[in-house]
Chains A and B, each alone.
Chain A
């Protein structure tokens, strides 16, 4: 088992009232799964994804990732954990505008303290795999949305994570670009065994996954 959420609650207090963002979420994810999280706006999809990605905290419940109990870990160990095992893909790509494609790809490796020569090899490798060698010296603003997201996925993959978390990865893309990205995910899942959890609005994209989780007002339905 890759990760397990047990009775996760997350809430905020506004004006004396407690508003639940996540309510009693239980979830088990096996390695190699491809899960789509669906639900209307404000149902807690992104919050759940952020909790899984350890970017966000929760107020109650247990979270086990591999053999670690995330809820008992200190911030520093948590960041080591996700640095090691999780890659993120965002709706608005979130590439660093001031860095070239190659430099953006190199960034996660820098934070993992990978050696220089190895970094170069890994970057070259992934550029090759994603067919974007010709774009390596361009800045994000010089790329189309689809190309940017391609770089985003490549960046998420470069450190060979076990899990990829994608928050509406195709939300800003047209249908053709969407399809390419989703095909890419499928391929990664099938051929490389990467576990993928994506948040999506689209039934079509959700269909790529092996399992669909529906959320409504912070609850699994």
Chain B
């Protein structure tokens, strides 16, 4: 029976090549999107699932509450770990603090080979290895990190530092960090084989940090300082729930809140974060900063997209199969008289659908491979085609295929199997009795989706163009900057660097200052403004620079003067701060002062607003101030420079000269400069990604919908061949015939537009809400996308109708 079904299914598919192709193509586009997105979701959800007791492992993190919103830090204050240990809670099996370190280099003294910037180095102790279960190749889990100046390496690192040696030989050898910290290798652990965010490779014993700390954090046991370098994992006891631990942490946080901070609405709390939450929680991040992370929200919207594309493909299926139902009525009648039950027929048709779905799936596997390649920027590095061999993924794919088969095949099967043999044989199911109302609804639905996508693409493009072209409020052309290595505290070197750069003929200006006016880094402080009786607390962003910096970026002073020199603490506030304080006249604030941390800082001037970040956000209150006052902790670590000419051809040679100076001054570090324009562009990376993704989604949605439309047009036009012939003989022109044939479909596209426009308007105004600077939701966007959709639809319709309208009527009537 099955063989017979397959045979007839295959012959049917083959006989209706065009329709089968439309079905398969449409479905495979949707399916390949679903496969790739599904793989991404699977990939992101399969992190750190392999740890024994993984459900008992938590990270302790910090959330700061302030009047300006909440901020999150993956780190905790240093004393917290000890405090937790001292409580000896029975709910806590292990408390494992660790500190992330960023050595400049590490050396194997035997071979004198040096390795720059080793990543994923931490200071920790044996507790860490009681939380995470590693496979120890050599060394003892319990004692390896007992002594100062010992280090446990991962297998990968051991092989890198000691190439060609057995792990047992590596044990007892030593490495040197930053020329000064000696560490004897006391163990080697195998790297985790499965996907994990616990990426650490070198574990230096915590006792080493007592004397030789690369992080500047370990020995600062203060309850008021939170650094993401100081992190904490805990493992709960068996059967202990997280509630009690969370309560204790909240209590500890409350005890150590500073009253004066609480008074202005600032407090912090510790939260325990399950291991499973780490991968997708962007508030706290993971440990690998190079890895761009998705969020659950992104995954959800991608899943929605995949769902929509698959649904569009299924709709083609339903439409074309019900449209063709009449042609199969006879077969159904015969099968029923020969004894087939309705159930058997339903299974037969579902089988056919499954066959087509399977064909589409095979095709989409190829497409998926290509898509993975095409969307390499969107896809995490570890995700490749191998993932599709994972048994769970295969099960998922099979389930998806079955679901698609049911979704697209069930309704047509129901319609088809309903035919009564008697009426079929009596020719009572005449083709025109099928009004195809459902098909119209479904087609309208498809075009609503396509239309919404078109409108969204246009608007997102417009908005992106608007914010990227809009004036930031300061000069950005021909300006670049680089940061001097943060480990190098020598201000003499920096000054010398600037002096040497001033001799380069291609540069017009070189300034040593803080961060550029707009960057990813923000510095801010809580300040108190006092104007007689009135006291206003707020956050104030800080921009560290000098007069040359002010000039280089063409910032605009509205009133007062700049700070007298680099090292005097005087503030030039921006207009937004004035607005925040409810003041209008810039002159009035000059001479007043701000209080912060017990210090009184005079306001000496007012500058015009400029954007400190993506234009998605508004201008924050800000103060410009000198920043070279605090010696070792000076803010003046970034060198900004401006090219003399706009002729970009000479720039590379100028940059080469700067790099030469860099190599002489900082041989240890890499030279990385950035153009201001590029920095600004990079603010919009996520929006640009959205735009690209949206373009693809639009293209695919249009493609699938148009395939469906084409199928319906072919079908109806062929059904009306005789009518066309008769009309032509009676004198209809080709144009009139085309109009007649297209009218029915254009009506659907128009209805779709009428539904799509308000939906898109609503959704997009919501999206635009997220931007401080927004482009208008202009009427022409809707008009343009409506016209575009109609033109596309007309083109598709014309493919078939022009030919039919031109056909020789005599022929069509004869074959009829």
Contact = CB atoms under 8 A, between A and B. Distances in A.
Interface of A: 46, 50, 53, 55-56, 76, 79-80, 82-83, 88, 90, 94-96, 98-99, 103, 106-108, 110-113, 155
Contacts, number: 56
Given A90-B425, A96-B331, A106-B4, A53 B11 contact: no
B11 A94 contact: no
A208 to B, nearest CB: 23
Interface string B401-422: 0000000000000000000111
Contact of B334 (A82, A96, A106): A96
Contacts of A99: 7-8, 11
B344 A111 contact: yes
A112 B333 contact: no
Q: Is the interface of B mostly helix, strand, loop or mixed?
A: helix
A100 to B, nearest CB: 10
A111 B11 CA distance: 20
B1 interface: yes
A22 B193 CA distance: 79
A90 B339 CA distance: 15
A168 B523 CA distance: 95
B537 to A, nearest CB: 80
Interface of B: 1, 4, 7-8, 11-12, 15, 330-331, 333-341, 344, 420-422, 425-426
A32 B186 CA distance: 100
A110 B4 contact: yes
A90 B336 CA distance: 14
B335 A103 contact: no
B428 to A, nearest CB: 12
B8 A96 contact: yes
A94 B4 contact: no
Contact of A53 (B331, B337, B341): B337
A108 B4 contact: no
Contacts of A107: 4, 335, 338
A88 B424 CA distance: 15
A107 B5 CA distance: 11
B339 A98 contact: no
A41 B134 CA distance: 89
Nearest to A156: B338
Nearest to A47: B422
Given A83-B339, A108-B339, A112-B339, 4 more contacts: A46-B426, A95-B334, A98-B331, A111-B338
B8 A55 contact: no
Contacts of A113: 1
A98 B11 contact: yes
Contacts of A79: 336, 339, 341
Nearest to B10: A98
B7 A103 contact: yes
Contacts of B420: 55
B4 A98 contact: no
Nearest to B330: A94
B424 to A, nearest CB: 9
Given A55-B422, A94-B330, A99-B8, A76 B341 contact: yes
Given A103-B4, A107-B4, A110-B1, A94 B341 contact: no
29 contacts: A53-B337, A76-B341, A79-B339, A79-B341, A80-B339, A82-B339, A88-B337, A88-B338, A94-B330, A94-B337, A95-B334, A96-B8, A96-B331, A96-B334, A98-B8, A98-B12, A98-B331, A99-B7, A99-B8, A103-B4, A106-B4, A107-B338, A110-B1, A110-B4, A111-B338, A111-B339, A111-B340, A112-B339, A155-B338
Nearest to A108: B338
Nearest to B337: A88
A99 B11 CA distance: 8
Nearest to B421: A55
A166 B495 CA distance: 108
A70 to B, nearest CB: 15
